[in-house]
Amino acid sequence: MGSMAQRTWGGRFEGEMDPLVQEYTAGDDADLYEFDIAGSIAHARMLGKQGIIPQEEADRIVAGLEAVLEDFRAGRVTWRPELEDIHTHVEVLLREKIGPVAGKLHTARSRNDQVALLNRLLLRDRTDAIVRAIERLILVLAELAERHAADPMPGYTHLQRAQPVTLGHHLVAYAEMLLRDRARFLDARRRIDVMPLGSGALAGSPYPLDREFVARELGFSAVSRNSLDAVGDRDVFLEFLAACAIAQLHLSRLAEEVVLWSTVEFGFVHLPDAFSTGSSMMPQKRNPDVAELARARSGRVVGELVNLLMVVKALPLAYNRDLQEDKRAAKAAAATLLATLDIFAAMLPELRFDLDRMRQAAGSGFVLATDVADYLVRKGVPFRQAHEIVGRLVREAERRGCDLADLPLEAYRAESELFEADVLGITVDAALAARDLPGGTAPRRVREAVAAIRAEVAPPSLG
At residue 60, the pLDDT reads: 98
Q: Give the whole-angstrom CA distance, residue 417 versus residue 446.
A: 36
| Eight-state DSSP code of residue 315 | P
Choosing from 158, 205, 221, 250, the catalytic residue is: 158
Tens of pLDDT along the chain (463 residues)?
Answer: 344 445 555 555 566 777 777 777 677 789 999 999 999 999 999 999 999 999 999 999 999 999 999 999 999 999 998 888 999 999 999 999 999 999 999 999 999 999 999 999 999 999 999 999 999 999 999 999 999 999 999 999 999 999 999 999 999 999 999 999 999 999 999 999 999 999 999 999 999 999 999 999 999 999 999 999 999 999 999 999 999 999 999 999 999 999 999 999 999 999 988 887 766 666 566 788 999 999 999 999 999 999 999 999 999 999 999 898 999 999 999 999 999 999 999 999 999 999 999 999 999 989 999 999 999 999 999 999 999 999 999 999 999 999 898 999 999 999 999 999 999 989 999 999 999 999 999 999 999 999 999 999 987 666 5
Q: Give the whole-angstrom CA distance, residue 331 versus residue 339.
A: 12
Domain locations in the chain as residue ranges: 3-107, 112-154+166-201+219-352, 361-457
pTM: 0.91
At residue 1, the pLDDT reads: 36
Strand-pair category, 194-195 with 160-166: unpaired
Q: Give the whole-angstrom CA distance, residue 459 versus residue 226.
A: 36
CATH 1.10.150.170 is the classification of domain 361-457: no
At residue 10, the pLDDT reads: 56
387 is catalytic: no
Of the chain, the end-to-end C-alpha distance in Å amounts to 45
Long-range Cβ contacts of 422-431 (<8 Å, 24+ apart): 423/372, 423/375, 426/368, 426/371, 426/372, 426/375, 427/363, 427/368, 428/152, 428/164, 428/359, 428/362, 428/363, 428/367, 428/368, 429/152, 430/371, 431/163, 431/164, 431/368, 431/371
282 within 8 A of 325, measured Cβ to Cβ: no
H-helix or E-strand containing 103?
Answer: none
Best CA proximity match to 338, nearest among 253, 450, 240: 240
At residue 284, the pLDDT reads: 64
129 within 8 A of 338, measured Cβ to Cβ: yes
334 within 8 A of 130, measured Cβ to Cβ: yes
Best CA proximity match to 357, nearest among 158, 151, 149, 160: 151
CB atoms within 10 A of CB 45: 19
CB atoms within 10 A of CB 438: 8
At residue 463, the pLDDT reads: 58
Best CA proximity match to 210, nearest among 34, 36, 44, 90: 44
Compute the half-sphere exposure of residue 221: CA atoms within 13 Å on the CB side of its CA: 6
- Angle at 165 (CA atoms; ends 160, 168), nearest 5 degrees: 125
Cα dihedral 389, 395, 401, 406, rounded to 10, equals: 10
Q: Give the whole-angstrom CA distance, residue 218 versus residue 102.
A: 21
At residue 5, the pLDDT reads: 44
Strand, coil or helix: 54? coil
H-helix or E-strand containing 150?
Answer: none
| Eight-state DSSP code of residue 53 | S
| Eight-state DSSP code of residue 169 | H
- Angle at 34 (CA atoms; ends 28, 39), nearest 5 degrees: 100
Give the CATH superfamily of 3-107: Fumarase/aspartase (N-terminal domain) (1.10.275.10)
CATH 1.10.10.10 is the classification of domain 112-154+166-201+219-352: no
Strand, coil or helix: 255? helix
At residue 81, the pLDDT reads: 83
279 is catalytic: yes
Residues in the chain: 463
Choosing from 106, 279, 298, 461, the catalytic residue is: 279
247 within 8 A of 254, measured Cβ to Cβ: no
